[in-house]
Amino acid sequence: MKALVAEAPDRFSVREVRDPERRSDEVLVKVAHCTICGSDIKLLRGLMGDIRFPLVPGHEWSGVVAEAPAALRHLVGRPVVADILQACGGCRYCNSGRPNLCADLEEPGISLDGAFAEYVVVKASQLHPLPESLPLREACLIEPLAVVLYALRRVPVAAGERVAILGGGGIGQLLVQAVLRSGATSVAMIDPHPERRSLALRLGADLALSPEEAGLLSEDEDRRPEVVFDVAGRAGAFRTALEIAALGGRVGAIGYSGSEAVAIEPSIVMRKLLDIRGVLSPTGTWDEAVDLVAHGGIQTVPLLTHDLSLDDFSTAFQIAEERRDGAVRVVVQP
């Protein structure tokens, strides 16, 4: 089959590889769509730690079951997505409902071969069948939506609260919609790209600022957000989140900034009585994410800004990395 193979940092190409071998508890999925997210960019540039090369990346995908164990033969031909967290199921973290902290965690697209390929192998137990009426292109953002819904479990937004979101990529745009569903009274999007700020406004945000303008939220205590989500993938955004959060506010750290470091004043957390929570991977929220996309509760189509074939991955990657032409999520089709 054809796949994108990352041989080492900054060394990746599309080439023919052997078809993946399926174990007795796994299914083979024909990939329909897989999007490029910020984590993929960092992985391919060598900015994500503990990656074992060579690797086929890609974890935001949708597809159709091509092969399945005998007991699940009825799933062949079914449109699906799948939970990407393959945890041990028996450690203290798994037993406490935090498989995302499992020491033996494996993830297709991160530590196992993923979906920038014609086929991907996943655990049969982690499949989430999709309604036949749901277009597969719309379904490829169910994974990042599951991250967003997990973020709202970690950092709930109450009706009437003000929210600020640092970062207007895929997760940021999904967050705009999700916090409004939670009853947020106002949503501010902070992003350096005008196209992404405009998209956030179309999706329901009432304010869109550049990073240089973020301080405007601090000028009036009545405008400060009670909840701030950092999804920018830059260390400096975390400092901004602490600075603009209201007294007694809550900060959700979602964006992956790798080994980047930034100077902060720890006393700001104490003086403002801030609650800070990390958000790692989609955990326990897949069914809700499928339901929201399937029934139109969350829009994914406006976020899917470009479509290219797997053969054109170099171009797709460049568009995604440079945020060219208003890129939010670039869709790759094997």
Is the same domain home to 126 and 46?
yes
Is the same domain home to 10 and 96?
yes
Long-range contacts of 88-95 (CB under 8 A, 24+ apart): none
Is the same domain home to 264 and 174?
yes
Residue 238: the pLDDT is 97
Is the same domain home to 173 and 268?
yes
Residue 123: the pLDDT is 96
Is the same domain home to 116 and 173?
no
Number of domains in the chain: 2
Is the same domain home to 198 and 262?
yes
Whether 292 is covered by a domain: the verdict is no
CATH of residue 102's domain is: 3.90.180.10
Is the same domain home to 161 and 130?
no
Is the same domain home to 98 and 126?
yes
Is the same domain home to 265 and 327?
no
Q: Which domain holds residue 76?
A: 2-142+300-333
Whether 291 is covered by a domain: the verdict is no
Whether 151 is covered by a domain: the verdict is no
When the pLDDT of each residue in the chain is averaged and rounded to a whole number, the result is: 97
CATH of residue 188's domain is: 3.40.50.720
Low-confidence stretches of the chain (pLDDT < 50) are none
Residue 221: the pLDDT is 84
Whether 196 is covered by a domain: the verdict is yes
Is the same domain home to 197 and 163?
yes
Residue 49: the pLDDT is 87
Is the same domain home to 136 and 235?
no
Whether 147 is covered by a domain: the verdict is no
Residue 222: the pLDDT is 83
